[in-house]
């Protein structure tokens, strides 16, 4: 379903992979500006071959997300959130699983990056060998029929008590860098997922002699 959705909704998903190979456990921390953020990040962590869990507030509406690492994180149940956190810590510690953490906590329009919640600091402390990796996601709908998505990975952050603020600033800087690369360094991107080309690209009648 995730692959089918991305294929039908986007023309292309592009990315700049991490500069250095990542070894788990990692905490991937992207901005949360788009409904499809979880879907495109699934493609990214799959391409990196890194098993990753993801806390989902509305998990109960579609529990099949458990098949790809989704875990319940309902706003109305502190007990279930705590259980998910404990299980995540165990998976990261014993199985080197990775965590996709939308630290802003809420999906919201760009360009602002909201202050990060306490979960990032908690997980960084509870899994001492984890690496906090900032990620930037941008969408663009302009020159093509469908939007295109661009993803960039930053370098792992140094741990510390101000990890939330420093990671937030790193995500903001990465978003700015990503915007510049989209405009002036398009060849720096690789295709992460092929979507659906524009109608004129799919059905160019000039290919047929009678036209």
The mean predicted confidence, pLDDT, of the chain is: 94
The reported pLDDT for the residue numbered 201 is 83
The reported pLDDT for the residue numbered 154 is 96
With a pLDDT cut of 90, the percent of the chain lying above it is 87
With a pLDDT cut of 70, the percent of the chain lying above it is 96
Q: Which residue has the higher pLDDT, 136 or 198?
A: 136
Contact 174, 29 (CB under 8 A): no
pLDDT tens-digit readout, 120-159: 999 999 999 999 999 999 999 999 999 999 999 999 999 9
Confidence of residue 207 (pLDDT cuts 50, 70, 90): low
The reported pLDDT for the residue numbered 204 is 66
What is the average pLDDT across 26-33? 98
CB atoms within 10 A of CB 208: 7
Q: How far apart are CA 33 and CA 136, in angstroms?
A: 10
Please identify which residue in the block is written with the tokens 């994180």: 73
Q: How far apart are CA 23 and CA 2, in angstroms?
A: 25
Confidence of residue 173 (pLDDT cuts 50, 70, 90): very high
Contact 45, 52 (CB under 8 A): yes
DSSP code string of the chain: -HHHHHHHH-SEEEEE--SS---SSEEEEE----TTHHHHHHHHHHHTT--EEEEETTGGG-GGGGGGTEEE--TT-HHHHHHHHHHHHHHHHHS--EEE--TT-S---SS--PPP-THHHHHHHHSTT-EEEEEEEEEE-SSSSS-EEEEEE-PPPPPSTTHHHHHHHHHHHHHHHHHHHHHH-GGG-EEEEE----HHHH--GGGSTT-
| Residue 211 pLDDT greater than 60, yes or no | no
Contact 40, 24 (CB under 8 A): no
The reported pLDDT for the residue numbered 122 is 96
The reported pLDDT for the residue numbered 200 is 85
pTM metric for this prediction:
0.92
Across 11-15, 66-70, 104-108, 206-210, least confident range: 206-210
* Cis? peptide before 72, omega within 30° of 0: no
**Spatial CA neighbour of 139 closest among 5, 10, 1:** 10
Q: How far apart are CA 72 and CA 56, in angstroms?
A: 5
| Residue 180 pLDDT greater than 70, yes or no | yes
What is the average pLDDT across 8-29? 95
Q: How far apart are CA 167 and CA 27, in angstroms?
A: 11
The reported pLDDT for the residue numbered 203 is 76
pLDDT tens-digit readout, 41-65: 999 999 999 999 999 999 989 888 9
The reported pLDDT for the residue numbered 6 is 96
Tokens of 180: 């510049």
The reported pLDDT for the residue numbered 209 is 66
């Amino acid at each position: 379903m995730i692959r089918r959705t991305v294929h039908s909704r986007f023309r292309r998903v592009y990315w700049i992979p991490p500069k250095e190979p990542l070894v788990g456990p990692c905490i991937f921390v992207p901005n949360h500006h788009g409904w499809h953020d979880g879907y495109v990040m699934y493609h990214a962590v799959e391409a990196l071959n890194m098993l990753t869990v993801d806390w989902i507030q509305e998990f109960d509406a579609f529990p099949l997300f458990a098949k790809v690492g989704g875990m319940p994180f309902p706003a109305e149940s502190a007990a279930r959130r705590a259980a998910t956190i404990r299980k995540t810590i165990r998976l990261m510690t014993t199985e080197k699983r990775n965590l996709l953490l939308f630290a802003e906590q809420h999906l919201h329009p760009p360009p602002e990056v909201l202050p990060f919640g306490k979960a990032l600091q908690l997980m960084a402390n509870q899994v001492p060998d984890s690496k906090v990796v900032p990620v930037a996601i941008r969408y663009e709908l302009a020159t093509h029929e469908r939007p295109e998505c661009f993803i960039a990975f930053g370098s792992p952050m140094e741990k510390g008590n101000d990890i939330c603020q420093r990671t937030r600033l790193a995500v903001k800087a990465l978003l700015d860098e990503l915007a510049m690369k989209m405009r002036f360094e398009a060849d720096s991107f690789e295709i992460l997922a092929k979507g659906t080309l524009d109608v004129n690209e799919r059905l160019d009648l000039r290919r047929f002699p009678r036209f």
